[in-house]
Amino acid sequence: MTMAAQPPSSADTLQTTGDHALVPVSTSRILSAPEFQHLADVPEEAQWFANIDNPNTRRAYQADLAGFIQFTGIQSPTEFRQVTRSHILAWRADLEKQHLSGSTIRRKLAALASLFEYLCNENAVTHNPVKGVKRPRVESQVGKTPALTNAQARQLLDAPLADTLKGKRDRAILSVLLHHGLRREEVTNLKVKDFAQADRSGPRMRVWGKGGKVRYLPIHPTTLKLVANYLKAAGHGNQPCHWLFQSVSHHTSSELNGGLTPGAVYSEVVKRYMTPLKITGDNLGPHALRATAATCALENQADIAKVQEWLGHANINTTRIYDRRETRMPDSPTFKVKY
């Protein structure tokens, strides 16, 4: 005896899927019909922006595109599809009138080019109007961020008090920065479990870099000792999921609290000790210690490809910005001329 087919329940409906038979599909939904239609109507321009994971990249692109929107008077995302190369050229000319640096103009054009490349891939536009627009030449391959001298770096490492919790923490942070070339964000992302991971060749530090890329760095013996001293004083060394470096007032807090911000690493640690030591100069900003570490490594014969991997650079040309060996005064042909 054959069994009669059971009709779909009230919670189901029938859907045809290509050549397949009708199958019951649940009609319960999380999105309401208006919400579903709203998401279907989201323009590609907004989808492109929402798909940028790195918060720093999002902020930079948002600022750059806001300038282009203000210049062109764009009122809605779909108006991007009416942009021509003439609009790009006019914007570039306006940026040049503002006396912006060549690297800044290049970055702004790159942000716009990224948007239009996405729109091309989504068939929202027929071509990328930024493609072929000449970009300013970069003034120099030498980085503008100055590096500290070896004497200044030693002064900075010794500046925090060695017998207070804040001093122990700050000595450890400065050592991580100067001995490993980390970005401020990378320092704040470190957790206890990321530090001193076991390895056959010695303890390593797991660093979460840009774009979620992970690299493992051998730990300098001085850093290893300073971090151990700090964790012993702070009391959270047995809490693997806690932030490694925490606010002194919250050093026993949970994973979600107490961690330092990148801004605090610069203002409360780096600048806090550089100012009394009178370590000042043009462009001596948050990136100075990373530039110092890279420059010192290269001057001491580190292989530039190894330094690229060490710093987490995607392109070796970025690493070359820190290579100041050819520009050192004693090596200049000026001092080789003898009459």
Q: Where are the domains of the chain?
A: 44-121, 150-328
Please give the residue that has the higher pLDDT: either 109 or 336: 109
How confident is the model over 261-289, as a mean pLDDT?
90
Q: How far is CA 57 from CA 78, 119, 262, in A?
A: 22, 18, 15
Tokens of 178: 């100067």
Token digits of residue 116? 């239009």
Which residues lie across from 197 on neighbouring strands? 204
| Three-class DSSP labels, the chain | CCCCCCCCCCCEEEECCCCCCCEEEECCCCCCHHHHHHHHCCCHHHHHHHCCCCHHHHHHHHHHHHHHHHHHCCCCHHHHHHCCHHHHHHHHHHHHHCCCCHHHHHHHHHHHHHHHHHHHHCCCCCCCCCCCCCCCCCCCCCCCCCCCCHHHHHHHHHCCCCCCHHHHHHHHHHHHHHHHCCCHHHHHCCEHHHCCECCCCCCEEEEECHHHCEEEEECCHHHHHHHHHHHHHHCCCCCCCCECCECHHHCCCCCCCCECCHHHHHHHHHHHHHCCCCCCCCCCCCCHHHHHHHHHHHHCCCCHHHHHHHHCCCCHHHHHCCCCHHHCHHHCHHHHCCC
Report pLDDT for 331. 65
Question: Given pLDDT bands bounded at 50, 70 and 90, which one contains residue 75?
Answer: confident
pLDDT band at 13, cuts 50/70/90? very low
The answer to whether residues 270 and 153 touch, using CB atoms and an 8 Å cutoff, is no
> Which residue, chain included where needed, has tokens 């999105």?
31
Section 220-227 average pLDDT = 96
Query: Is residue 9 scored above 60 in pLDDT?
Result: no
Highest mean pLDDT among 115-119, 137-141, 192-196: 192-196
Query: What pLDDT score does 327 carry?
Result: 62
What band does 317 get if pLDDT is binned at 50, 70 and 90?
Answer: confident
CA distance 303 to 291: 16
Q: What's the pLDDT band for 38 if we cut at 50, 70, 90? A: low
> What's the CATH number for 150-328?
1.10.443.10
* Pair 147, 297: CB distance under 8 Å: no
For residue 328, pLDDT over 80 is answered with no
Q: Which of 302, 333, 218 is nearest to 323 (CA)?
A: 302
The pair phi, psi for residue 204, each rounded to 5°, is -130, 160
Give the model's pLDDT for residue 274.
94
What is d(CA 277, CA 285) in angstroms, rounded to the nearest whole number? 15
The more confidently predicted of residues 14 and 336 is 336
* Mean pLDDT (whole number) for 262-290: 90
Question: Which two structure tokens, joined as six digits, stand for 88?
Answer: 């790009």
Residue 253 has what pLDDT?
A: 45
Average pLDDT value for residue range 188-207: 89
d(CA 173, CA 157): 9
Q: Is the pLDDT of residue 261 over 50?
A: yes
The whole-number pLDDT of residue 329 equals 63
> Is the pLDDT higher at 297 or at 19?
297
What is the pLDDT confidence band of residue 92, given thresholds at 50, 70 and 90? very high
Write down the pLDDT at residue 310.
94
208: pLDDT strictly greater than 70: yes
Contact yes or no for 184/286 (Cβ under 8 A): yes
CB neighbours of 335 closer than 8 A, spacing ≥ 6? 329
Percent of the chain with pLDDT over 70: 80
Question: Rounded to the nearest 10 degrees, what angle do helices 150-158 and 288-299 cross at?
Answer: 130
Residue 273 has pLDDT above 90, yes or no: yes
Contact present, 303 and 210 (Cβ < 8 Å): no
Q: What is the mean pLDDT of the chain?
A: 82
* Residue 272 reports pLDDT greater than 80: yes
